[in-house]
Structure 1
């Protein structure tokens, strides 16, 4: 697939066909963890690939209620794959305490923003593009703060890995009642989003 086609194919969905995703296809998507940027090549990304029915059912049980309360049909439970995106902040600090990354005073840099979260978002985008290239659709949801401990336990991340969110993955189905923001809001004009300094 051409890059522009993959970009056009990258969209969030809330409806999946029940078809399983072949392991080789899924392997090509999750390999993006090696291509994702990480400050100083800290390699703080972590993924848990969940295809087993029981953990997916439990994740949906924990996470789907808020969508149902807003009138959306079940979608988390319908996705044949859940990818838990994690980030290990300590990887960044460990890397930036190594001699080649210390500041002029010999200390770890003062982080202007938490780049581990920034890099996690970059990994999400690469996963979405790789999925689109494979003819797959994706969705994304963040953990409910009230039930974060339950979700973390279900996903199985160690204590030093934070859960950024979960990507749902599968073959997209028609969305008969698509009330997503994509269909209810207009795109802002480009000149409101981009400033040129020439």
Structure 2
């Protein structure tokens, strides 16, 4: 598929067919994710792959979804046969930039203008979403509620120095793509590009 088509077709899919996802396709998603740009080539990310019914069910329970609770969004999302959780390690970045070739001699985090451990892991997550489109699949990125981070961590033995930036459901698309997202309620904004200086906008 042409790259422009991958970008154009990317949507958050919130309901999936019963058909399983080929493990080789999941492997390609993860391979591509690890090609994302990352500060200092730190590679301070990790990816938890949940691809059995038992692990997927445990994910939903650990992140606060009561099995007896039903709504359009949750019922659709729980049909996904695969959940991938991208995790970021702040410590990995602090350690990397305290190494000799980076010139810092300590692990202070106030040197960082933005938390690149989250930025880089977010870019890796986008490559997973784009690969799903290229493979003819659907996917949806969503957040794990903050109050359930620890229960998620305990359910899957995730170490304390790794924090989930969200989760991604993956599966085969169906005609009914699930609960309508915000784009169904909001128009796409225009005039967001400023050329030369702020306030000089151009239409897409």
- Shorter-chain TM range is 0.7 to 0.9
Higher helix share: 1
Between the aligned partners of 1:183 and 1:194, the Cα distance in structure 2 is 23
Residue pairs, 1:63-142, within 5 angstroms = 63-64=64-65, 72-103=73-104, 110-142=111-143
Between the aligned partners of 2:173 and 2:131, the Cα distance in structure 1 is 15
**Structure 1 unmatched ranges of 5 or more:** none
Residues 13, 140 of structure 2: 8 Å contact kept: yes
Between the aligned partners of 1:132 and 1:80, the Cα distance in structure 2 is 16
Residues 136-183 of structure 1 show CA distances to partners (whole Å, capped at 9, x for unaligned) of: 111122111222211122233212111111100111222276421121
Q: CA RMSD in A?
A: 2.1
Q: Which residue of 1 aligns with 2:8?
A: 8
Between the aligned partners of 1:69 and 1:121, the Cα distance in structure 2 is 29
Residues 60, 76 of structure 1: 8 Å contact kept: no
Residues 63-99 of structure 1 show CA distances to partners (whole Å, capped at 9, x for unaligned) of: 446xx67753512311010001101111111110111
Residues 102-141 of structure 1 show CA distances to partners (whole Å, capped at 9, x for unaligned) of: 15xx556711111111111111111111111111111122
Relative to the length of structure 2, the TM-score reads 0.85
Between the aligned partners of 1:3 and 1:122, the Cα distance in structure 2 is 16
* 2:195 is equivalent to residue 196 of structure 1: yes
Q: Secondary structure at the match of 2:76?
A: coil
Relative to the length of structure 1, the TM-score reads 0.88
Give the paired residue count. 192
Q: Secondary structure at the match of 2:85?
A: strand
Q: Secondary structure at the match of 2:114?
A: coil
